[in-house]
Amino acid sequence: QKEVEQDPGPLSVPEGAIVSLNCTYSNSAFQYFMWYRQYSRKGPELLMYTYSSGNKEDGRFTAQVDKSSKYISLFIRDSQPSDSATYLCAMTTRGPGSQGNLIFGKGTKLSVKP
Amino acid sequence: KAGVTQTPRYLIKTRGQQVTLSCSPISGHRSVSWYQQTPGQGLQFLFEYFSETQRNKGNFPGRFSGRQFSNSRSEMNVSTLELGDSALYLCASSFGSGGTDTQYFGPGTRLTVL
């Protein structure tokens, strides 16, 4: 079993839809959970990070962590064509800057159609 | 402030050759990490350098090596290239090493091995 599983998609939604992106993991020691967005021909950029369980909201984006189910989600409200990108989840037992300890999902490719 | 830059952006090599990739971190950042991204394996950590010292190393063969200079610029070298080395190589920089310092990724170098 992979440490982090993420459905690769592709996921295609109409503009304005609510998008739900998910990852499951097996290591219960993970404490920090991150979502990165990667546009085509660009490097990943950190969208949000959450420590332990709970929700975190930033504008149209909400990150949820359910440690009991080992399941994390990213919700995008009122999705826009500019949200079209690959979204990668990542997690670690340390902080988001813990290079070498970050385990990434393979990414979900999202396309938002006008 | 300029972002992380990587050169070259695209590279084509043949099996058995060696290659050197370069990364210039954000000004003031002392930590540089390298990652390999492929469709099959996703984003995988190669190594991290902080103040010219290798701090962490991923599970890659010794053909992959790197170094960091006193100005924090970093190079990565792959010797005796194999077809499976074809990938996007990403460099990320952060102010510190570990903890909650955010990593900022460069656009990557796309390496194709023929």
Is B107 in contact with A41 (Cβ distance < 8 A)?
Answer: yes
Is A95 in contact with B56 (Cβ distance < 8 A)?
Answer: no
Which whole number is the average pLDDT over B50-73? 93
Instruction: Return d(Cα B75, Cα A104) in angstroms, integer.
Output: 23
Residue A59 in contact with partner chain B when CB distance is under 8 A: no
Q: pLDDT digit string (tens) for B13-37?
A: 999 999 999 999 999 999 999 999 9
Chain B residues touching residue A97 (CB < 8 angstroms): 31, 94, 96-103
Res B60: pLDDT: 95
Close Cβ partners of B70 (under 8 Å, ≥ 6 residues apart): B52
- Give the nearest chain B residue to A33 (CA atoms): B100
Residue A10 in contact with partner chain B when CB distance is under 8 A: no
Cα A12 to chain centroid, rounded: 16
**Residue A19 Cα, gap to closest chain B Cα (Å):** 22
Which whole number is the average pLDDT over A71-85? 97
Confidence category of residue A95, pLDDT binned at 50, 70, 90: low
- What would the DSSP string read from start to end of B22-49? EEEPPTT--EEEEEEEETTTEEEEEEEE
Mutant choice from B103, B104, B109, B110 vs A, greatest count of A C-beta within 10 A:
B103
Instruction: Return d(Cα A104, Cα A106) in angstroms, integer.
Output: 6
pLDDT of residue A100 exceeding 90:
no
Res A54: pLDDT: 85
Which whole number is the average pLDDT over A87-91? 94
* Exposure string for B11-49, b = 16+ CB within 10 A, e = fewer: eebeeeeebebebbbbeebbbbbbbbbeeeebbbbbbbb
pLDDT of residue A66 exceeding 90:
yes
Q: pLDDT digit string (tens) for A30-56?
A: 988 999 999 998 999 999 988 888 899
B100 or B53, which is more confident?
B53
Confidence category of residue A101, pLDDT binned at 50, 70, 90: confident
Chain A residues touching residue B97 (CB < 8 angstroms): 97, 99
Res B108: pLDDT: 96
Quote the mean pLDDT of chain A. Answer: 91
- Select from B42, B96, B105 the Cβ nearest to the Cβ of A106: B42
3-state class (DSSP) for residue A81: helix
Chain B residues touching residue A41 (CB < 8 angstroms): 107-108
Res B56: pLDDT: 85
State residue A30 phi and psi, 5-degree precision.
-60, 135
- In the numeric block, which tokens belong to residue A73? 């989600």
Instruction: Return d(Cα A36, Cα A55) in angstroms, integer.
Output: 16
